[in-house]
Structure 1
Amino acid sequence: MVNKIWLALILIGFIFAVLKGDINTVTKAAFDGAATGVTVSFGLISVLVFWLGIMRLAEDSGLVKVISRVLGPVVSFLFPDVPKNHPAMGYILSNMSANLLGLGNAATPMGIRAMQELQELNPDKETASPAMCTLLALNTASITLIPTTLIAIRLNFHSANATEIVGSTLLATAVATAAAIVADRWYRRRSIRRTLPPSSPPTLSLKR
């Protein structure tokens, strides 16, 4: 569906350019955008490699395990229907740890593996389970301590102070995460209420 939307936007842009007789401007903008995309991608490589290396050092030094132990009770609260020793828990913890450091590229494969493991626990394979919805919400609105990717983009475009967004990003992602958790709790309770059997009406006994 997203591909169709992008294709429609591109076609609409070219159609209007032809109607206005300004096709050269659209063509130049398309090539300039492609060149900018390649430049930004190369600029991100060094920063992402650096932070992925830091993530690997954190794993080898045991820092990730420490973070996992700290986040363990939180994850158990957020995912009450997932057994503590299930492999999905490890992938969820790794996903959350990577998101905390702003490493979206490192968090994505962990999130995919967590979803695959949660699908194994899902009794209805055609519908996302509550745990899968929770993971999707947290991964989308994850609190970020260090917005690594954004800092890399700002550095690539020669920002005077690339790290000035750390405070605002932390505040915004904290609010987003809190909203995601509140919405998740509300929908979980609503789902539980729907699955509960209706209580039988009280009966009146008539004594003669």
Structure 2
Amino acid sequence: MNAVWLVMISVSIVFAMFTGNLEAFTKSIFEGAKSAVEISLFLLGIVSVWMGITRILEDSGLIYRIAHLFKPLVSRLFRNVPDDHPSISAMTLNILANLFGLGNAATPLGIKAMQELDALNPEKGTVTFEMMVFIVLNTASIQLIPFSVIGLLASYGAKNPAAVVLPVLVATLTSALAALAILFAFRKVFK
């Protein structure tokens, strides 16, 4: 991937030199870098807040109550995972973070859930069906309220940044259901 970026940057520099736009090219590089830092700090704030909330949820024991609410759904999807296993809490937190559009905050929770699921794996180094289901759910990332997207749109001055809520919900729910249907169909065909 580094080679691809190097080629793209090199071609851009050569093109800017031949078209006489080297000054505009240099200016846009610095503006892009400034914008990237601002967006990164903004997203870091969102991730920090969510990670703090998840820590409070864990320390207060509230996560177990929330996990209990999701238990019927999670138990149906993950039939081979014991109800009291730590992976249930990690998966629940991951799903909640994704529901609120905080995919960056969901990543460490997803890693923890996969580690906990791997602890149940009799064949280390292979992927179990439960791991596949979790990967599909995590990748599809059903979003009820995409806070990160709304925040980015608001920071760029969108008139109605919340207009993306329904389209994002429909798109992510559709993709998750389609991916799960394909996964379960493949499981039946290729036992």
**Higher alpha-carbon Rg:** 1
Match of 1:120 in 2: 119
Q: Percent identity?
A: 40
Match of 1:33 in 2: 32
Higher mean C-alpha deviation, range 71-80 or range 39-48: 39-48
Q: Which runs of 4+ in 1 moved over 4 A?
A: 18-21, 45-63
Q: Which amino acid aligns with 1:184?
A: L
Higher mean C-alpha deviation, range 9-18 or range 152-161: 9-18
Give the Cα separation in 2 of the matches to 1:86 and 1:57. 20
Aligned residues: 191
Q: Which amino acid aligns with 1:139?
A: N
Gaps of 5+ in 2: none
Contact 1:96 1:139 in 2 (8 A): yes
Q: How is 1:95-110 mapped onto 2 (pairs within 5 angstroms)?
A: 95-110=94-109
Give the superposed CA RMSD.
2.7
Give the Cα separation in 1 of the matches to 2:3 and 2:87. 33
Compared CA separation, residues 82 and 141, structure 1 to 2 (3 A): same
Q: How is 1:125-204 mapped onto 2 (pairs within 5 angstroms)?
A: 125-192=124-191
**So what's the TM-score if we normalise by structure 1?**
0.76
Gaps of 5+ in 1: 193-208
**So what's the TM-score if we normalise by structure 2?**
0.82
Give the Cα separation in 2 of the matches to 1:163 and 1:171. 14
Give the Cα separation in 1 of the matches to 2:3 and 2:120. 33
The Cα shift of 1:185 comes to 0.9
Give the Cα separation in 2 of the matches to 1:71 and 1:88. 13
Q: Deviations over 1:79-122 (max 9, x none)?
A: 22323332222211111111112222221111001112222333
Higher mean C-alpha deviation, range 5-14 or range 78-87: 5-14
Compared CA separation, residues 121 and 100, structure 1 to 2 (3 A): same
Give the Cα separation in 2 of the matches to 1:55 and 1:126. 29
The Cα shift of 1:52 comes to 4.9
Q: Which amino acid aligns with 1:86?
A: H
